[in-house]
Amino acid sequence: MKNIALHWKILIGMALGVVYGLVLSFVDGGGDFIGDFIKPFGTIFINLLKLIAIPLILASLIKGVSDLKDISKLSQMGGRTILTYVATTLIAVTIGLILVNTIQPGKSISVETRQELVEAYATDADQKREAAAKQQEAGPLQALVDIVPSNIFAAATNNRNMLQIIFFALFFGIGMILLPEESSQPVKAFFDSFNAIILKLIDMIMMAAPYGVFALLAALVVEAPSLELFQALALYAVTLLLGLGAMIIVYSIIVKVFTGRSPSTFFKGIAPAQLLAFSTSSSAATLPITMECVEENLGVDKEVTSFVLPIGATINMDGTSVYQGVAAVFIAQAFGLDLSLSAQLGIIFTATLASIGTAAVPSAGIVMLVIVLAQAGIPEAGLALIFAIDRPLDMCRTIVNVTGDAAVSMLVGKSIGKLKD
């Protein structure tokens, strides 16, 4: 088993979980056994993911922002880079939301199954109702007020306050940039190392993923023996893949319009990085190859790639943005919640921030999804619903994350005359 790649192990864990759940659902008391002795391990796994969310945001955002120090030196390139990254991210979330609202993969779940789901996660639903009631009493600017915590330690005690943590991390990072380097250096070194440790923890949690998905899928099968839920999940996957495909078309247009290069040259040049992104599910791990492809095959100057690509790997995750939009609304649909236009606009905002804060490692996207769900008042328990098929989708969204960084570096290179003809 040792030499098998993690994604295969996870796929095997999924398959075995389904088979195990199916077999035990025919055995007397099998369902109870899974509920009592297997499902808790799935819950522990999800808890670990949630546990790491706040430290992850603090570490990766503070590190990400403080690394932007060079922007003051390279302000011309910096402004364009950030602007284009934010624009492609907004396009990505919007495409995701349009598709998921049109296809409505979660609506295919029948009223009974939905009822079971809602009952299974009743506590979440209650909290949501309370939050909704509070929201109704509040004024129109309450959402803005809620972003600014009055006490950082109090904010950090609840996963629902992630936007407050993001606010603090950005604020803190900006403070670091504004200080002379000597004054901020010790704290910067601390956060660089803190970030490395958190990434290691995610690595360790992912080692447990094959067992986690086994438990989650076995429990999913016995709890929802109907094929219906699986059909809905398949439709969700198709919706997401369509969104990711649409982003690839967006990049073709960007490359053609802004650099005059043919999309096929672009995709041929970036293919090795895309394959590596697919097999590692990590844009950070792919970064060295992305740089090589963009420099050697696409002719972008090193001066541009060494600035644009590492920042892109940290803050530009268009595949993850499509995913966060689609997944959040899918879960809401599965739970029978109707999201208002303003809730969906809120998702665009939080998904943009969340994708910026997502670390470029496997499964970081689903961790950050907690924020989007919490802010939109969608039950976090819905994570359990989509986790089972998250890994293959993570592999696909990482391809888009890497491709987006490459397209933007060509655009920036061209705009400052650093793209070879």
CA distance 335 to 211: 26
Tell the smallest beta-carbon distance from residue 281 to ligand ASP (Å).
5
Applying CB under 6 A, which residues contact ligand ASP? Answer: 281-283, 317, 320, 358, 360-365, 394, 397-398, 401
Instruction: Return the percent helix, strand and coil in the chain, to nearest 5.
Output: 85, 0, 15
For ligand ASP, the nearest residue by Cβ is: 365
Write the DSSP string, 363-406: THHHHHHHHHHHHHT--TTHHHHHHTTHHHHHHHHHHHHHHHHH
Amino acid at 328: A
Tell me how far, at minimum, the Cβ of 243 lies from ligand ASP, in Å: 13
We find the least distance from the C-beta atom of residue 121 to ligand ASP, in angstroms, to be 23
Query: Angle CA(125)–CA(126)–CA(132) in degrees, nearest 5?
Result: 85
CA atoms within 13 A on the CB side of 16: 13
- Closest contact distance (angstroms) between CB of 311 and ligand ASP is 14
From the list 132, 161, 164, the residue with the least C-alpha distance to 147 is 164
Which C-beta is closer to ligand ASP: that of 220 or that of 317? Answer: 317
Contact call for residues 310 and 287 (beta carbons, < 8 A):
yes
Rounded least distance, CB 222 to ligand ASP, Å: 28
Rounded to the nearest whole angstrom, what is the least distance from the CB of residue 223 to ligand ASP in the complex? 26
Query: What single string gives the DSSP state of each residue in 6-45?
Result: HHHHHHHHHHHHHHHHHHHHTSTTHHHHIIIIIHHHHHHH
- Of 195 and 320, which CB lies nearer to ligand ASP in the complex structure? 320
Closest to 392 measured CA to CA, from 5, 4, 10, 3: 10
Shortest Å distance, C-beta 165 to ligand ASP: 19
Strands (E), 290-342: none
Of 155 and 354, CB closest to ligand ASP: 354
Are the C-beta atoms of residues 106 and 232 closer than 8 Å to each other?
A: yes
Q: For ligand ASP, which is the closer residue by CB, 96 or 362?
A: 362
Structure tokens at 343: 């809730």
Q: Which is nearer to ligand ASP, 202 or 374 (by Cβ)?
A: 202
* Cα–Cα distance, 312 to 402 (Å, whole number): 8
Closer to ligand ASP by Cβ: residue 125 or 309? 309
274/375 with CB nearer ligand ASP: 274
Cβ-based nearer residue to ligand ASP, 259 or 363: 363
Q: How far is the CB of 355 from ligand ASP (least distance, A)?
A: 8
